[in-house]
Amino acid sequence: MTETAKFAAEQLIVCGGCNAKMGPGNLADILAKLPANKRDDALLVGYDTTDDAAVYQIDAETALIQTLDFFPSMVNDPYLFGKIAATNALSDVFAMGGDVLTALNIVCFPEDMNRHILEKILQGGQEKVKEAGGILAGGHSIHDRLPKYGLAVTGKVAPNQILRNDTVRPGDALILTKPLGVGIVTTSYNAGAASEAAFQQAVDSMQTLNKYAADVLKQHQVTSCTDVTGFGLAGHLSEMLHGQLQATIEAVDLPMIPDAYTCAEEFLVTAGGQRNRNFLQDKIKFELDDYALEEIVYDPQTSGGLLASVPADQVATVVADLKQAGVTANCIGRVTEKAADDPIEIIVK
3-state secondary structure the chain: CCHHHHHHCCCCCCCCHHHHCCCHHHHHHHHHCCCCCCCCCCEEECHHHCCCCEEEECCCCCEEEEEEEEEECCCCCHHHHHHHHHHHHHHHHHHCCCEEEEEEEEEEECCCCCHHHHHHHHHHHHHHHHHCCCEEEEEEEEECCCCEEEEEEEEEECHHHCCCCCCCCCCEEEEECCCECHHHHHHHHHCCCCCHHHHHHHHHHHCCCCHHHHHHHCCCCCCEEEECCCCHHHHHHHHHHCCCEEEEECHHHCCECHHHHHHHHCCCCCHHHHHHHHHHHHHEEECCCCHHHHHHHHCCCCCCCEEEEEEHHHHHHHHHHHHHCCCCCEEEEEEEECCCCCCCCEEEC
- Does the annotation place 148 within a ligand binding site? no
What strand order describes the sheet that includes 346-348? 224-227, 306-311, 172-176, 330-337, 245-249, 346-348, 284-286
Burial class (CB in 10 A: 0-12, 13-18, 19+), 5: middle
Q: Is residue 59 a known part of a binding site?
A: no
| CB 13, CB 225: distance < 8 Å | no
Catalytic residue among 15, 18, 225, 331: 18
Question: Was 227 annotated as part of a binding site?
Answer: yes
92: annotated binding-site residue?
yes
Residue 141 annotated as lining a ligand binding site: yes
- 69 a known binding residue? yes
Residue 263 designated active-site: no
Task: Confirm or deny that 139 is annotated as ligand binding.
Answer: yes
51 is in an annotated binding site: yes
Any known ligand binding at 289? no
The annotation status of 21 as a binding-site residue, yes or no, is yes
The Cβ-side half-sphere exposure at 332, using a 13 Å CA radius, reads: 28
| 62 marked among binding-site residues | no
Residue ranges for the binding site?
Answer: 21, 49-52, 69, 92, 139-141, 227
- Which residues are tagged catalytic? 18
Binding site for Mg(2+), by residue number, is 52, 92, 227
* Annotated binding-site positions for ATP: 21, 49-51, 69, 92, 139-141
